[in-house]
């Protein structure tokens, strides 16, 4: 580089230093930093990167989980205002909400309890004294009344002890970010967000130092008296600043050490004098005044007072009184935000006796703790290590923006129904994700990375694995969140089908969740997997159910268990007469009565019979109840023929007969029963059904085509299989060539048999409802029953 370039760079450097010196930082510090350049600390960078990655992964995962699960399931009162509502989760945001909810629960759980205390008051020419009972208070009235009566009978008070000593009230430590937010909230009722916004603007304008700092002590190189000298011209605190610089006043004191140093920025202090700028709001004036007065206070002597403590005895009961006389206010003269209440009491001597002016038995009730103020909340976050000094206000604001909490005019927080429901849901899961413990451990690991005792990869693996287990478990127990939200919010039409009821059995489809009883918006019941929509396993229940509830009775035959039975209450007019309207059954697939009621009345899913498209147990491939095998109808089971013979003289009264007097036969080659439909669409229509309910024969009375009994020889050799229509019926259907071509195109051969895609005849194809091979089950006339 040429000499002119060096000179130009040096002048630019000096100009930059001068500009910085006049606004925020000190020339000496800038110069020292430029002379002692070093490489950036890689460990600090790794700790920051680890924090960002952990927060991003955890926050994105849980936010998506909460939002997708809950947003569309419940009627939230402010959903119309925010169409794209996000139910966010943050590793720092949620513990912040947890503090608010926990304090609210403490307030709600408080039970007022009455107590009694004895109060003693003495008035003299030299002053008044209020004595407090050393027992404090008693919660038993009789005991308190007995002691009070003793004092009344012997009211003479004797002074037992008098002590007096000098006491000091020390000024605060130098100001850091956390204290700035707490004091601004306490003194001016400013939110932490507004405080940081105003402080940032004052910093950018050069009136105060960088407002985001953890440091609360000044280095030896800081020109504290120079900063103080800038303020002597101010009309309010200027005279006090001038006295501070006067050695004769003996007001100056080096600031105390708060013990925190972020090794990046000094404590917050004024950097330029101002009596108020034209564009400043009241918030700007208040924050600047707080920064200046706090700085002047921390370089001042403590307030000095003299405290007196007197103890008296009345009938064996002791009472005490305190008095304080301020000798020198010192820093309290300039720090108007702090006070030290003086109270004088008469001069007492040991052995002195007097009669109290007033001696009373007072009652009161215990009070709950107050809701958290913003200053209290920031203190709790700081103690638990939730967030940094520069991000705490962001976490608080996020809770308010997400409608998880509200803040009143006194800066006290109260959770909303949404915030309380979320915390309650996670609390019911057993994982205290709303507690500060997990985040505190993470912050401890971050510090270990910055110190070099742990690696970035190590803590990433540990923290993410830990939260991964929490996340997977939360997904498994997401019904807890739905249940807690259901306590506060009404369900939407789209979310009602996901309403969680009592668990019925483990889900045999996904294997990771349970099947639970649910009620749809139309009032019909179903048993569905709680892992919906990932798992769509469902058992459609009869549509005639009026009420349903899971019992503690376990089915002994269904697996995987336990499968709890359900107590049903049916609408009397919609179920067959032979069944009771109150019934307890199993939905695991073993209950033929439920299947029969579904066949007659339909299911809540719209499918007739137990062969819907779902994956629930009632919708599976049907097995023979006699032998347990599939592939044949119950009436075809040879084991049934030997085990369950029908008595030859068994003739039901309502066996159906054709107009010619012939019996109407079902697929079992047995006489049918004539029944009347009770469904809304077909109420009053008569139809034929198998009397023993072992086959799926169905036919309307007006469409009846009586089947003739098939010879046993043909049954044995399979020459006329069950489910096929009589040959005369096939001939009638096949007479028209156009119809025959149409049926072949639909996959039905000209002789009425189903054909496969290759054109081969399928012997087993037929409608499973009525046995007719000329149509599928979805086109069966009985489907509208």
Which sequence positions are flagged as catalytic? 210
Token pair for 731: 């001939």
Token pair for 363: 């009652």
The region, left, alpha or beta by phi > 0 then psi within -120 to 50, assigned to residue 640 is alpha
Give CA 231 to chain center in angstroms: 51
CA 387 – CA 381 distance, rounded (Å): 7
286 contacts 190 by C-beta, under 8 angstroms: yes
Half-sphere exposure of 518 (CA within 13 A, CB side): 28
Please, which residues bridge with residue 343 across strands?
324
What SS3 state is found at 552?
Answer: strand
CA 738 – CA 384 distance, rounded (Å): 84
The region, left, alpha or beta by phi > 0 then psi within -120 to 50, assigned to residue 713 is alpha
Q: What does 715-757 look like in DSSP terms, one character per residue?
A: HHHTTT-TTPPPHHHHHHHHT-HHHHHHHHHTTB-TTS-EE-T
316 contacts 150 by C-beta, under 8 angstroms: yes
Q: Which of 651, 678, 645 is nearest to 663 (CA)?
A: 651
Label the pairing between strands 317-328 and 127-133: antiparallel
CA 417 – CA 432 distance, rounded (Å): 19
Q: What does 251-315 look like in DSSP terms, one character per residue?
A: -B-PPP--S---SS-PPB-B-S--S--TT--HHHHHHHHHHHHHHHHHTBPPEEEEEEEEEEEET
How many CB atoms within 10 Å of residue 220?
5
88 contacts 59 by C-beta, under 8 angstroms: yes
What SS3 state is found at 142?
Answer: helix
Alpha helix positions (H), 114-237: 141-153, 177-188, 192-204, 224-229
Give CA 244 to chain center in angstroms: 54
CA 159 – CA 356 distance, rounded (Å): 12
Label the pairing between strands 686-690 and 672-676: antiparallel
């Amino acid at each position: 580089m040429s000499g002119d370039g060096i000179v130009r760079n040096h002048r630019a450097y000096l100009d930059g230093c001068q500009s910085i010196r006049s606004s925020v930082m000190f020339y000496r510090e800038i110069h020292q930093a430029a002379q002692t350049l070093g490489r950036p600390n890689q460990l600090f960078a790794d700790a920051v990167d680890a924090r960002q990655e952990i927060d991003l992964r955890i926050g994105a995962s849980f936010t998506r989980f909460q939002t997708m699960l809950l947003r569309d399931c419940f009627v939230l009162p402010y959903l119309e205002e925010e169409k794209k509502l996000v139910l966010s989760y943050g590793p720092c945001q949620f513990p912040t909400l947890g503090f608010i909810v926990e304090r609210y629960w403490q307030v709600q759980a408080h039970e007022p309890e009455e107590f009694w205390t004895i109060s003693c008051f003495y008035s003299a020419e030299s002053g008044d004294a209020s004595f407090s009972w050393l027992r404090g208070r008693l919660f038993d009235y009789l005991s308190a009344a007995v002691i009070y009566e003793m004092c009344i009978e012997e009211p003479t008070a004797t002074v037992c002890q008098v002590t007096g000593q000098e006491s000091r009230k020390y000024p605060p430590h130098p100001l850091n970010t956390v204290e700035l937010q707490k004091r601004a909230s306490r003194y001016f009722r400013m939110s932490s967000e507004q405080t940081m916004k105003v402080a940032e603007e004052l910093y950018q304008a050069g009136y105060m130092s960088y407002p985001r700092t953890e440091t609360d002590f000044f280095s030896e190189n800081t020109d504290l008296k120079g900063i103080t000298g800038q303020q002597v011209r101010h009309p309010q605190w200027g005279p006090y600043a001038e006295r501070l610089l006067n050695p004769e006043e003996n007001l100056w004191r080096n600031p105390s050490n708060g013990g925190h140093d972020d090794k990046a920025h000094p404590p917050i202090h004024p950097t330029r004098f101002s009596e108020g700028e034209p564009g400043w709001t009241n918030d700007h004036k208040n924050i600047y005044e707080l920064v200046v007065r706090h700085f002047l206070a921390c370089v001042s002597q403590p307030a000095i007072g003299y405290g007196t403590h007197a103890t008296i005895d009345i009938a064996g009961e002791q009472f005490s009184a305190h008095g304080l006389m301020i000798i020198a206010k010192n820093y309290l003269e300039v720090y108007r935000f702090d006070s030290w209440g003086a109270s004088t009491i008469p001069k007492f001597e040991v052995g002195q006796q007097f009669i109290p002016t007033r001696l009373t038995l007072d009652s009161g009730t215990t009070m709950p703790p107050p809701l958290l103020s913003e200053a209290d909340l920031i203190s709790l976050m700081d103690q638990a290590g939730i967030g940094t000094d520069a991000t705490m206000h962001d976490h608080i604001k996020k809770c308010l923006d997400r409608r998880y909490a509200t803040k009143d005019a006194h800066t006290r927080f109260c959770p909303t129904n949404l915030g309380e429901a979320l915390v309650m849901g996670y609390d019911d899961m057993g994982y205290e994700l709303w507690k500060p413990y997990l985040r505190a451990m993470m912050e401890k690991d971050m510090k270990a990375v910055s110190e070099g005792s742990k690696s970035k990869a190590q803590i990433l693996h540990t923290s993410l694995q830990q939260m991964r287990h929490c996340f997977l478990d939360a997904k498994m127990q997401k019904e807890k969140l739905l249940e807690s939200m259901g306590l506060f919010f009404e369900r939407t039409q789209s979310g009602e089908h996901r309403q969680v009821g009592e668990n019925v059995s483990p889900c045999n489809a996904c294997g990771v969740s349970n099947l639970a009883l649910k009620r749809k918006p139309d009032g019909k019941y179903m048993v569905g997997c709680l892992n919906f929509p990932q798992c769509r396993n469902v058992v459609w229940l009869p549509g005639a159910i009026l009420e349903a509830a899971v019992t503690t009775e376990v089915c002994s035959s269904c697996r995987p268990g336990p499968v709890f039975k359900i107590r049903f209450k049916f609408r009397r007019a919609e179920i067959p007469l032979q069944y009771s309207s109150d019934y307890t059954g199993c939905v695991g697939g073993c209950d033929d009565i439920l299947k029969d009621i579904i066949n007659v009345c339909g299911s809540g899913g719209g499918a007739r019979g137990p062969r819907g498209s779902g994956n629930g147990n009632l919708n599976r491939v049907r097995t023979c109840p006699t032998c347990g095998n599939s592939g044949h109808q119950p009436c075809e089971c040879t084991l049934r023929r030997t085990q369950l013979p029908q008595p030859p003289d068994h003739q039901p009264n309502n066996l159906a007969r054709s107009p010619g007097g012939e019996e109407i036969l079902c697929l079992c080659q047995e006489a049918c029963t004539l029944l009347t439909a009770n469904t809304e669409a077909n109420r009053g229509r008569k139809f034929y059904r198998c009397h023993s309910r072992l086959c799926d024969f169905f036919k309307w009375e007006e469409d009846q085509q009586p089947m003739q009994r098939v010879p046993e020889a043909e049954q044995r050799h399979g020459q006329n299989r069950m489910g096929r229509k009589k040959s005369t019926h096939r001939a009638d259907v096949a007479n028209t060539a156009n119809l025959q071509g149409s049926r072949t195109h639909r996959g039905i051969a000209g002789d009425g048999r189903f054909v496969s895609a290759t054109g081969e005849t399928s012997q087993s194809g037929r409608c499973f409802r009525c046995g007719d091979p000329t149509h599928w089950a979805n086109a069966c006339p009985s489907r509208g029953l």
